[in-house]
Chain A
Amino acid sequence: MDSSFIWSELVPALNDGLLVSLLLIIPSACLGLLLGILAGFSRTFGPPWLSRIASAYATVFRGTPLLVQLFMLYFGLPNVGVYLTPYVAAVAGFSLCSGAYHSEYIRGALLSIKSGQIRAAESLGFSRVKTMVHIVLPQAMRRALPGVGNELIYLIKYSSLAYIITCIELTGEAKILAAQTFRYTEVFLIVGCYYLILVSLASVGLRKLEDMLRVPGYGKG
């Protein structure tokens, strides 16, 4: 291995890519979670029409490959007059796909909240929405956290598909450099380390969050 290549060419290029990756992952994680919460609630407690729409959304975005979704958003939508930049198309694709999976985790967590607590809240004069926001959601999020965290970790890794629709992130930078120098082994070994570190940091953060939110009577607590 040539250490001067690694430090003077590879690492600076990958750091640029890392920044783009983070700019993809963070908004997609937030939007995806928001979509997942909305879809999960709609599927569990929504009126039949809304529940059906949310289920259809989950079916479509869980049932098709992410790459196909990205191609549709970036190459397909211009045919109907919608032009997205590579970055916007990638964030949209990641959020929609991730939201579909989140909705399943959240639906499961919502179903685990005993209906008695909902009745108790209503008996105190809570409206339906307030019951959801103050009683059901805080408990459901705790139960959904392991699954939701898993999905965030997936997201970190599927952000590597963005370069295929020309949004050059970590994997994209690596691909370009590897093709130019033909040093596939070094380049992808180090890219692998970047992802491993990102995922490890996310895992530690999620574990911390779980500990912070732990309430006696839930799980180990």
Chain B
Amino acid sequence: MAGEELLRVEGLNKTIGGTSILSDVTMSVQKGDLKVLIGPSGGGKSTLLQCINLLLFPDTGRIILGGKEVSFRRKREVLAYRQQIGMIFQEFNLFDHLNALQNVSIALRKVKRMSSRQAAERAERELKRVGIGEQKHLYPAELSGGQKQRLSIARALAMDPAILLLDEPTSALDPELIGEVLAVIRDLSQKGMTMLMATHQMGFARTLAQEIMFMEQGQIVEQGGPRELLSCSDDQQSRTLSFCSKINELYA
């Protein structure tokens, strides 16, 4: 897979309240890839994703998107950059006072300055794409967990992001609802959307990820294709594999 490099992160460091959360993280995502980030809680996965879209500002390091280095200083550039990075949160973070259609269209109207009609048309297309076109007039409190997460994906997709960051998108869902969200993600991946996803869904990572990164204590410990990291051929097990077996045992 020698795709074109879309996102590159170099030497990222982040310290919060005196504790080092990320230390010298360097990684990249190729265009069209689905890259999966796994590892124990508190290992820095969430912080890395939030640093990548500048919801948190890294202390040091560089972020390069599509060959262009991102300036952290200039406010306007940061805002424009964030539009290009879609973000999906574990807790959905939908706008509670807006219905499904408005949740998607508000950023189109207020950030992209589209007309109300254009924004509504676009929003409706995105809702259909994730399979909740029928629920367009319902409010977040009236949707199921799976529908909420699909709505948040539609909201991010409407901005035409270059890459989608997903921060444990299924971890807050009931087990029977996980499948519908993963199906949307699978579909996006097959249509060429570039994604970086933190998850504990090992089966999903194994079958769909182009590459897996194992993160622990703020560092990327192992990195490689799922077959390399998740096969137990050799006597020396990879850290990733032992972590996966532990997770699978817990689920079993």
Q: A residues touching B (Cβ–Cβ < 8 Å)?
A: 114, 116-117, 119-127, 130, 134-135, 138-139, 142, 215-218
Contact between B110 and A123, CB atoms less than 8 A apart? no
Contact between B139 and A215, CB atoms less than 8 A apart? yes
Contacts of A127 in B (CB 8 A): 75, 79
Q: Once bound together, how far apart are the Cα atoms of A167 and B126, in whole Å?
A: 59
- The closest CB in chain B to the CB of A126 belongs to B111
Contact between B97 and A124, CB atoms less than 8 A apart? no
Type the 1/0 row for B139-175, where 1 means its CB is closer than 8 Å to any CB of A. 1111000000000100110010000000000000000
Return 27 A-B CB contacts under 8 Å, by A number.
A116-B91, A117-B93, A117-B94, A119-B50, A120-B155, A121-B95, A122-B82, A123-B53, A123-B85, A124-B111, A124-B155, A124-B156, A124-B159, A125-B83, A125-B107, A125-B111, A126-B107, A127-B75, A130-B111, A135-B95, A135-B106, A215-B96, A215-B139, A216-B142, A218-B96, A218-B97, A218-B141
* Contact A124:B140 (CB < 8 A) given known A130-B110, A130-B111, A139-B97: no
Contact between B106 and A216, CB atoms less than 8 A apart? no
Contact between A122 and B142, CB atoms less than 8 A apart? no
B2 at the interface (CB under 8 A from A): no
Contacts of A122 in B (CB 8 A): 55, 82
- The closest CB in chain B to the CB of A215 belongs to B97
Min distance, Cβ B85 to any Cβ of chain A, angstroms: 7
Q: Once bound together, how far apart are the Cα atoms of A78 and B93, in whole Å?
A: 53
Contact between B82 and A120, CB atoms less than 8 A apart? no
B215 at the interface (CB under 8 A from A): no
Partner of B106, one of A134, A142, A218: A134
Contacts of A117 in B (CB 8 A): 93-96
Contacts of A123 in B (CB 8 A): 53, 55, 82, 85-87, 156
Q: Once bound together, how far apart are the Cα atoms of A46 and B97, in whole Å?
A: 24
Q: Once bound together, how far apart are the Cα atoms of A121 and B95, in whole Å?
A: 9
Among B75, B94, B97, chain A packs the most CB atoms within 10 A around the CB of B97
B80 at the interface (CB under 8 A from A): yes
Min distance, Cβ A177 to any Cβ of chain B, angstroms: 49
Contacts of A218 in B (CB 8 A): 96-97, 141
- The closest CB in chain A to the CB of B81 belongs to A125
Q: Once bound together, how far apart are the Cα atoms of A22 and B73, in whole Å?
A: 51
Q: Once bound together, how far apart are the Cα atoms of A121 and B79, in whole Å?
A: 11
| 14 additional A-B residue pairs with CB within 8 Å, beyond A120-B87, A124-B111, A125-B159 | A119-B55, A120-B94, A120-B155, A121-B95, A122-B82, A125-B79, A125-B80, A126-B79, A126-B111, A138-B97, A139-B96, A215-B97, A216-B141, A217-B140
Contact between B89 and A116, CB atoms less than 8 A apart? yes
Q: Once bound together, how far apart are the Cα atoms of A217 and B148, in whole Å?
A: 14
Min distance, Cβ B83 to any Cβ of chain A, angstroms: 4
Min distance, Cβ A176 to any Cβ of chain B, angstroms: 49
Contact between B142 and A119, CB atoms less than 8 A apart? no
Contacts of A215 in B (CB 8 A): 96-97, 139, 141
Q: Which of B46-91 contact A (CB under 8 A)?
A: 50, 53, 55, 75, 79-80, 82-83, 85-87, 89, 91
Contacts of A142 in B (CB 8 A): 97
Contact between A116 and B93, CB atoms less than 8 A apart? yes
Contact between B82 and A124, CB atoms less than 8 A apart? yes
Contacts of B138 in A (CB 8 A): 216
Q: Once bound together, how far apart are the Cα atoms of A215 and B96, in whole Å?
A: 8
